[in-house]
């Protein structure tokens, strides 16, 4: 009999679900892959082998020690309804923000949280938005160099934040435009390929401004948790990139300690600092990599107390690692 703890992944066919599945494979746990549809099993692949996702029901959730919600908001709500009826309920780790505004759920980002931080007895955890985790980690390290008085961050949103549908639509738009065909616009209601957007179209299922607000709210919580007193001004921009966040950050210090001191202060096991002798980081190089990478650290020519920073990170990897 296999006595290893069981982790159930609801929506294991999603980009996040697949990443969690890969990370759990490195641990001494059993995994159960559960489809997002509660009525039928779905065929997918795992390590090159065909796998049938099990149904979303009480039988498949009932013996799990932890349940990762990594599918759609609809599948997460269905899983939460089922878990609410169970006698022995698993710990819930929500990557879909379904629990974001519910009492009793805790916003979590282990990469940013203090070393001694713990949530006693909590059974519901919401993983913070990956952009908030990236910026929270950055500013918590930057504060070690010198007190920050003001900051601004431009965040370039990848298509993978909309899941497989976002990535597929960007790919189809790119192909169609190069073939002089009209691009599909179901996910964004706008042309994303070869373009930058400050807003999605009016017929899009969501609003880019709402995502920006979620990042801002999550980041404020994480910065308060780590004792960083300054909340940066944020601007979210939809980029024609399949995966990975790029961010341009401006920070003003009480007294600029200099690029060398800044690089030494922010470097850590989770923060790769690329000095002036190295190429700045980019999302292609960060694909599948842990943590964040920071480079192109440059003094502001018009403000001697400020510096510019360029940050890159794999959004899917960041969120999945914090969840696991």
DSSP per-residue letters across 176-230: HHHTT-PPP-TTTSS--TT--BSS--TTSSS-HHHHHHHHHHHHHHHHHHHT---
Q: What is the pLDDT of residue 210?
A: 96
What's the pLDDT at 51? 67
For the chain, what is the mean pLDDT? 91
Across 166-170, average pLDDT: 96
Distance (Å, whole) CA 129 – CA 109: 9
Which tens digits make up the pLDDT trace of 208-225? 999 999 999 999 999 999
Cβ-based burial of 38 (10 A; exposed 0-12, middle 13-18, buried ≥19): middle
- Cα–Cα distance measured from residue 229 to residue 250, given in angstroms and rounded to the nearest whole number: 16
- 317: pLDDT confidence band, cut at 50, 70 and 90? very high
Predicted confidence at residue 47, as pLDDT, reads 55
Q: Please tell me whether residue 16 adopts helix, strand or coil conformation.
A: helix
DSSP secondary structure letters along 118-176:
--TT--EEEEPPHHHHHHHHHHHHHTTTS-EEEEEEEEEE-GGGGHHHHHHHHHHHHHH
pLDDT for residue 94 is more than 60: yes
Q: What is the pLDDT of residue 62?
A: 87
Q: What is the distance between the alpha carbons of residues 130 and 161, in angstroms, rounded to a whole number?
A: 9
Q: Is 3 helix (H, G, I), strand (E, B) or coil?
A: coil
Structure tokens at 88: 């022995």
Does position 324 have pLDDT exceeding 70, yes or no? yes
Distance CA 311, CA 231 (A): 17
The pair of three-digit structure tokens given for residue 315, joined into one six-digit string: 């959004």
Q: How confident is the model at residue 10 (pLDDT cuts 50, 70, 90)?
A: very high
Q: What angle do CA 229, 232, 237 make, to 5 degrees?
A: 160
User: Tokens 């001697």 label which residue?
Assistant: 304
Band of residue 101 on the pLDDT scale cut at 50, 70, 90: confident
Burial class (CB in 10 A: 0-12, 13-18, 19+), 189: middle
Alpha carbon 1 to its chain centroid, in Å, reads 36
Whole-angstrom distance, CA of residue 241 vs CA of residue 194: 9
Cα distance between residue 94 and residue 10, in whole Å: 10
Express each pLDDT in 225-262 by its tens digit: 998 999 999 999 999 999 999 999 999 999 999 999 99
**What integer is the mean pLDDT of 149-162?**
97
pLDDT of 187 higher than 90: yes
What percentage of the chain exceeds 90 in pLDDT?
76
pLDDT over 70 at 44, yes or no: no
pLDDT number for residue 1:
66
For residue 40, the model assigns a pLDDT of 46
> Is residue 16 over pLDDT 60?
yes
Name the more confident of 127 and 49. 127
pLDDT of 46 over the 70 cut: no
Dmax over CA atoms of the chain, in Å, equals 67
pLDDT of residue 299: 96
């Amino acid at each position: 009999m296999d006595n290893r703890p069981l982790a159930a992944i609801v929506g294991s066919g999603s980009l996040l679900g697949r990443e969690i599945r890969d990370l759990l494979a490195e641990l001494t746990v059993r995994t159960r892959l559960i489809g997002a549809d509660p009525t039928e099993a779905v065929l997918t692949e795992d390590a090159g082998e065909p796998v049938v996702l099990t149904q979303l029901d009480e039988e498949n959730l009932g013996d799990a020690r932890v349940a990762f919600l990594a599918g759609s908001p609809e599948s997460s709500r269905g899983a939460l309804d089922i878990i609410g009826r169970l006698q022995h309920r698993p710990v819930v780790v929500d990557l879909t923000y379904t629990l974001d505004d519910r009492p009793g759920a805790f916003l979590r980002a282990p990469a940013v949280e203090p070393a001694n931080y713990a949530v006693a007895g909590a059974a519901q955890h919401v993983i913070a938005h990956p952009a908030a985790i990236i910026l929270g980690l950055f500013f918590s390290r930057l504060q070690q160099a010198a007190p920050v008085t003001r900051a601004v961050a431009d965040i370039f949103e990848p298509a993978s934040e909309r899941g497989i549908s976002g990535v597929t639509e960007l790919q189809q738009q790119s192909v169609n435009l190069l073939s002089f065909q009209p691009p599909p616009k179901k996910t964004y209601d706008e042309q994303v390929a070869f373009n930058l957007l400050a807003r999605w179209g009016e017929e899009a299922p969501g609003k880019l401004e709402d995502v920006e607000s979620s990042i801002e709210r999550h980041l404020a919580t994480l910065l308060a948790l780590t004792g960083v007193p300054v909340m940066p001004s944020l601007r979210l921009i939809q980029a024609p990139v399949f995966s990975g966040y790029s961010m341009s950050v401006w920070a003003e210090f009480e007294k600029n300690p200099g690029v060398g001191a800044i690089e030494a202060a922010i470097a850590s096991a989770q923060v790769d600092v690329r000095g002036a002798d190295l190429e700045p980081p980019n999302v292609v190089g960060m694909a599948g990599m842990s943590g964040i990478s920071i480079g192109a650290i440059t003094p502001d020519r018009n403000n001697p107390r400020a510096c510019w920073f360029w940050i890159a990170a794999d959004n899917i990897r960041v969120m999945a690692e914090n969840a696991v």
